[in-house]
Amino acid sequence: MDKCSFCGRDKRDTNLLIAGISGHICDNCVEQAYEIVQEETKKKAPFDINAIKLIKPKEIKKFLDSYVIGQEDAKKTISVAVYNHYKRLMQSTRRDQSDEVEIEKSNIILVGETGTGKTLLARTIAKLLHVPFTIVDATVLTEAGYVGEDIESILTRLLQVADYNTEAAEKGIVFIDEIDKIARKGDNPSITRDVSGEGVQQGLLKLLEGSVVNVPPQGGRKHPDQKMIPVDTRNILFICGGAFEGIERKIAQRLNTKVVGYNASRQTDRIERENLMQYISPQDLRAFGMIPEIIGRLPVLSYLHPLDRKTLRTILTEPKNSIIKQYTKLFEMDDVKLTIEEEALNYIVDKAVEFKLGARGLRSICEAIMIDVMFEQPSSGESEVVITPQLAKSKIEKINLHRLKAA
């Protein structure tokens, strides 16, 4: 009777016995061999820190330009931060004993309205980097011991991206999205426990500043007996982004835009009231509910401009992954040519401006217009689809506008 050449089981004791040239292997041994290969592969991380290619700020910004329209200030800030991060890594790996100057990291915070491109910037820069990069959402974080994810789960994600290579993870970049959602509920320190706001900010301090954190490789509460992995966060660059809804009122109060009087009105004439975000300062973040300690650990403060009509029109068609190019590709996969008339594109942009949803609103409107077309076309056998302004208007008028505005 045939036997497994690895474990010696008879054929009748296995679910499957695979025959080779001079032996056999059972399904159990195949699974174990696969796990061994996976474990060994993890040890050989794809990130070679010693072979980092230094990318200059202008090259980084040029790459971002092909995906992100506008936002010159934010793109320059991120480009310089990533460039300096690479130089810091090169210094730490090749440091001469006589070199007493140690370059410290400068964590970044990006502030901008919803749909202006904060997360898109992060996802785009991730395509270019040669170090581990992860995006985490601050809305799910709570203070340790409460329902939700621990602060250490941020580093767990980074470890997973680095295939659990601690050395590579310790030189990675983390983008923390929706950082404004952990602002404390009032200007004054909490009397009761603020476990999803101020408590999270206090927990983030040790990560942002730089310390050795014991990280559970599979998450904290699900596997309490697992072995912890120590991760040094001194060389991990943190980029935070948030909409900070309503912070314009804090900026306006600081700039005295509502002061009555002739002299006051002359001073405020020079202020662009439609784009108060460009005047943001650390004290506005503090007034919003960010604790002073965390503001101090995010020394680089940049902002994203609200998107005007011209920028939205460019976003719709120009970038490499523009929404219209995505729909065109979807129809091409069915051998169908998609044509959207110029007036229809202008109508989509007008609606996006009306709903004040930024670039994210463009997709909501396009989906509302395209959904019936994408449902009918595969069965109709048509070789061309034309979206006219009349068709776009009829589709938008049909749907529940209130639901679209809340999307």
- What is the band of 256 on the pLDDT scale with cuts at 50, 70, 90? confident
For 370-395, write each residue's pLDDT tens digit: 998 899 888 888 889 999 999 998 88
Neighbouring residues of 144: CB distance < 8 A, sequence distance ≥ 6: 150, 151, 203, 220
What is the structure's pLDDT at 259? 45
Neighbours of 47 (CB within 10 A): 19
What is the structure's pLDDT at 235? 86
Q: 46 near 57, Cβ under 8 Å? A: no
Q: What is the mean pLDDT of the chain?
A: 82
For 93-136, write each residue's pLDDT tens digit: 665 555 677 777 889 999 988 888 888 888 888 888 878 889 89
The CATH classification number of 309-405 equals: 1.10.8.60
What is the structure's pLDDT at 344? 92
Angle between helices 389-398 and 342-355 (to 10 degrees): 30
27 or 193: which leads in pLDDT: 27
What residues pair up with 133 in beta bridges, in sequence order? 173
Name the amino acid, one letter, at 393. K
Query: Distance between CA atoms of 233 and 212, rounded to whole angstroms?
Result: 6
What is the structure's pLDDT at 15? 87
Q: Of 217, 132, 128, 130, whose CA–CA distance to 168 is shortest?
A: 132
Q: Is it the case that residue 61 has pLDDT exceeding 90?
A: yes
Q: Is it the case that residue 265 has pLDDT exceeding 70?
A: no
Residue 352, CA distances (Å) to 112, 154, 177, 273, 365 in order: 17, 34, 23, 21, 7
* pTM of the shown model: 0.73
186 or 318: which leads in pLDDT: 318
Mean pLDDT, residues 264-284 taken together:
73
In the three-class reduction of DSSP (H, G, I as helix; E, B as strand; rest coil), residue 149 is classed as: strand
Neighbouring residues of 244: CB distance < 8 A, sequence distance ≥ 6: 111, 180, 183, 285, 288
166 or 145: which leads in pLDDT: 166
| Burial class for 258, CB neighbours closer than 10 Å (0-12, 13-18, 19+) | exposed
Name the amino acid, one letter, at 231. V
Parallel/antiparallel/unpaired status of strands 108-111 and 229-232: unpaired
The C-alpha torsion from 211 through 131 and 178 to 241, rounded to 10°, is 90
Q: Which residue has the tokens 């202020």?
A: 271
What is the structure's pLDDT at 405? 52
* pLDDT over 90 percentage in the chain: 19
Q: Is it the case that residue 222 has pLDDT exceeding 60?
A: no
What is the structure's pLDDT at 69? 87
Query: Distance between CA atoms of 395 and 59, rounded to whole angstroms?
Result: 42
The dihedral sign for the CA sequence 43, 44, 49, 50: positive
Fold of 49-303: Rossmann fold (3.40.50)
Query: Distance between CA atoms of 238 and 235, rounded to whole angstroms?
Result: 9
For 306-352, write each residue's pLDDT tens digit: 888 898 999 999 888 889 999 999 999 989 999 999 999 999 999 88
